[in-house]
Amino acid sequence: MRLFLALEPPDELRQRLGELAELAQARCGGRRMPDESLHLTLAFLGEVAEERAAALAAWVGERSIPAGEWRLDAWGAFHRPGIVWVGGQTPDPELVRLHGSLWDGLAAFGVNHRPGHFVPHVTLLRRARRLETRSLPAIDLAWPWRRLSLVRSFTENDGARYQTLARSPAA
């Protein structure tokens, strides 16, 4: 099964991000991520065997992470898949630290494909036709985070669907 570790936004922020996705779609086209799918990926694990997934779920269920607050104050785009995202003007140091410590822990599960570069972002649109984000309104949102989620991704005809398999204890 395809898994990733993520932070899930608090409800109010999720709604606000959904409104931004709507607005971005009106300008840039593409497919808008449904509100319930909005997240920040900390580690994409790829295909994981079922027994290993159960061990990972237990690991996440017991692992507290330090609490933090991510400031979302920038729009961005990745060219190839036509992704329009929101994130920080610079990578948040606490998230970069968390990303590093998670990948250190994942080595024990044989997951070793740590990316060289981490750009914390929340994907709002996929396959956008226009990647011009300069005309989008300025944003300044706070994402208080304190729990990690292990999420399974299913591919369906109209895009990916996500299911949370485990959450860490609240910090």
Within 80-119, which residues bind ligand 2AM (CB under 6 A)? 83
Measured CA to CA, the distance from residue 98 to residue 41 in angstroms comes to 11
**In Å, how far are 28, 58, 98, 101, 150 from 32, measured between CA atoms?**
10, 32, 28, 31, 23
Least distance to ligand 2AM from the beta carbon of 59, Å? 18
CB of 6 to ligand 2AM, least distance (A): 7
* Site for ligand 2AM contains 4 (CB under 6 A): yes
Q: For residues 104 and 40, what is the distance between their CA atoms, to the nearest angstrom?
A: 19
Instruction: State in angstroms the smallest separation of the CB of 120 from ligand 2AM.
Output: 10
Burial 18-53 (b: 16+ CB within 10 A, else e): bebbeebbeebebebbebebbbbbbbebeebeeebb
Q: Please report whether residue 168 would count as binding ligand 2AM according to CB under 6 A.
A: no
Shortest distance in whole angstroms from residue 69 CB to ligand 2AM: 20
Residue 123 is a binding residue for ligand 2AM (CB under 6 A): yes
132-161 residues in contact with ligand 2AM (CB under 6 A) are: 153, 160
Dihedral, 118, 18, 164, 123 alpha carbons, nearest 10: -20
Please count the residues of this chain forming the interface with ligand 2AM, following the rule CB under 6 A: 7
- 37 touches ligand 2AM by CB under 6 A: no
- For residues 163 and 166, give the distance between their C-alpha atoms in angstroms, rounded to a whole number: 9
Query: Which CB sits closer to ligand 2AM, 65 or 124?
Result: 124
Contact 139, 73 (CB under 8 A): yes
With binding defined as CB under 6 A, does residue 41 bind ligand 2AM?
A: yes
- Binding interface with ligand 2AM (CB under 6 A): 4, 41, 44, 83, 123, 153, 160
